[in-house]
Structure 1
Amino acid sequence: MDYYGLFPKFKLNRPLNEAEIKYQLNNGDVINCQSIMPDAKVISMNSNFLEMVDKYYSSKGLGSLVAFFGFSSMLFVITLVTFFCFFDSNYISLNDVVFFLIVFIPSCLMAIWMLILLKSEWFAWTHYPVRFDRKNRLVHVSRLNGSTYSVPWDSVFFTSGLNHRKDANKDYYISGHVLADDGETVIDTFCLPATHSDRKQLERHWEFVRRYMEEGPDSVVGVVDFCLPIAKKREGYRFGLLCLLSGFNGAPLFLFPFLFVLAFIFSIPRYLAMVTSRVPVWPESIELQCQVDKDDPYLVDASRNPKHPWRNLFKKPSTHHRESR
């Protein structure tokens, strides 16, 4: 689970750091991987473009679950201390007022903090798609505020990064930095969807995207056997539950009851996050650049998914489609 970029936001208008330069991923460099990895992040693919979700999609709902309980707890504390200091006594002493302020002010600040975190998932956007436009050699990106922008594929500085909790939880991710004219200052950042504790594993995901853009859909279409059914619509509850359960892919069957209960608990805030959020829509200018032929031989979308994806939940993950969390 990596929320860095969503909360807190990426730092912009800064120079590239040494680690980003050291681990740069060049568009033209072939990485010798035994397998490449779409990682169940593809929304659709065709001859002209590849559309994928953001890196926050897999964990959507977990942050709001924490925020909701945090806000509720702070609200309970504020109500409780207000009652005991001002309504449970006939005399209000100075000590009561001091104690109230000591508890009330930090609790209010924490409650506001939790509301900001909650707002990052509820009443936001269901996902933030990234579209790799091979035909025009562009990358179309959705910002967190719902706006979009396009940047030339060849000008993006791709690199593997590390989340802000460097000591607590080492989640690496692949970021695409949009640079200023000086070639050093980061003015915008987007991310590929996969995260992993092992930097080398991310190279398999990067190579999937790189091959599509540089070598064409024929080089990657064979590994895309599932697409997320969220193109121009919200994720349904059942699929959200399936998405959470897929994180336990490969677990022993005897753990299924416990894992199902765990996924069910997390599925509720995930569903609330989805139904309270808006579905992203690409501007007409981008859609006009990304027309798809009806008889496109490389068209892959959710309509071609297996009819019974539940049956594949607890199979051992293949080398192609291991989910990185």
Structure 2
Amino acid sequence: MAICRQFRTGRAWNAACGGQVADASGSWLMDFTGLTKKFPNNRPLSDFEREHRLLQKKRLDVPLLAQLCVVTMNSRTLVSVDRWYAYRGYIALLGLIGVAFAVGGIAMLAWILLIDKAPNENGIWEAIFFGIVMFAGLGVAGAWVARKELFRWTYYPIVLDRKTRQVHVFRLDGTVLSAPWDTIYFTLGRGTGPVGAFNWDIRGLILAEDGVTVKETFAFCITTGEIEHAHSHWEFLRRYMQEGPAAVREAVLYCMPLERRPESFAVGKERIFANDAHAPAFMYLTMIPFNYVHALARWLVMRTSKVPVFPPAIEAARRPEPDDPYVFDASMNPEDLR
């Protein structure tokens, strides 16, 4: 394990999980649908959602794919990471790059004006002031983008409660959506990546009393270019709720160490590199410098954000019984990834 991480950071998690980080073939699959662009609500069900509906009581004959989603699991509850967790820090990085360019540009123009004492002729001062205004606008835009992740929440957990048959979703604004598992309309969705690639995901739709109007939407953690991977992750979640932890225990080899604490730099770096674990060697090596910068931005996001906490009743339900044989948490990880 240590040797694997030493030479191919990120492949330790992926290889030990049977290559279960779906479509970890490079960063082009980054997809922040639902975060940068909200899911469409207050609308009727689409034909696509009807065609790709996922039924709670229909067993799919597919391999199970945990997708490194589990934070904790026991006989009563499973806590999953959110749809954007795998690439946490990327949006903040883009925004901070914009801020850095803005600060550098303003500093350069201020130096020309104040230190080099550019003459007030041929419109030079006007051009400098216009440039400062343009860079200031870039800085404001960059800060707005970075704020999508900075000073928010370390992640947005989803709790599956087998005992009460409830799903609890930590919303972006810190409130909690609770809905009965058996009444949620589950379906596949399509997100859009940065280069126009349409990615499959798994969405839960909260319908109005008429049974056709979508009031609210949430999504589980997977975004993938292969519909088979989406089905495999859905089946992992479905079997946990319908059949119990014994049916999925073999698929959970690691837990994300996020319980009541922010993610460490080492864990964030490992998770970022895991996204490229299936990439060709040249692409993997090319991404190493960017991934380390990404890891720094991710660490900053984690350090500036609050740890999500559910209401007391939900938090109490998450605690396992003393004799529960199916308790999974980060203590099962390698020592440096706990």
**Under TM normalisation by the shorter chain, which class is it?**
0.7 to 0.9
1:82-231 to 2 correspondences below 5 Å: 88-91=117-120, 97=126, 100-101=129-130, 107-165=135-193, 168-231=196-259
Partner of 2:45: 16
Q: What displacement does 1:14 show? A: 2.3
* C-alpha distance in structure 1 between counterparts of 2:174 and 2:93, whole Å: 23
SS of the aligned residue for 1:293 comes to: coil
Q: Give the number of aligned pairs.
A: 308
Decide whether aligned partners of structure 1 residues 214 and 66 sit closer, same or farther in structure 2, where only a CA change above 3 A counts: same
Matched, 1:305 2:333: yes
* C-alpha distance in structure 2 between counterparts of 1:94 and 1:252, whole Å: 52
* C-alpha distance in structure 1 between counterparts of 2:178 and 2:256, whole Å: 23
Unmatched runs of 5 consecutive residues or more in structure 2: 1-29
1:74 to 67, 78, 102: 102
Paired residue type of 2:333: N
Decide whether aligned partners of structure 1 residues 120 and 308 sit closer, same or farther in structure 2, where only a CA change above 3 A counts: closer
1:280-291 to 2 correspondences below 5 Å: 280-291=308-319
* C-alpha distance in structure 1 between counterparts of 2:134 and 2:48, whole Å: 37
CA deviation map 1:204-227 (0-9, x unaligned): 000000011111111111221111
Partner of 2:26: none
* C-alpha distance in structure 2 between counterparts of 1:99 and 1:16, whole Å: 53
Deviates further, 65-74 or 90-99: 90-99
CA deviation map 1:73-105 (0-9, x unaligned): 23434555567689954437779648855x566
Percent identity between matched residues is 32
Partner of 2:67: 39
CA contact (8 A) 2:98 2:141 kept: no
* C-alpha distance in structure 1 between counterparts of 2:52 and 2:139, whole Å: 39
* C-alpha distance in structure 2 between counterparts of 1:288 and 1:119, whole Å: 32
Paired residue type of 2:202: I
Matched, 1:29 2:58: yes
Partner of 2:269: 241
* C-alpha distance in structure 2 between counterparts of 1:21 and 1:13, whole Å: 16
Partner of 2:77: 49
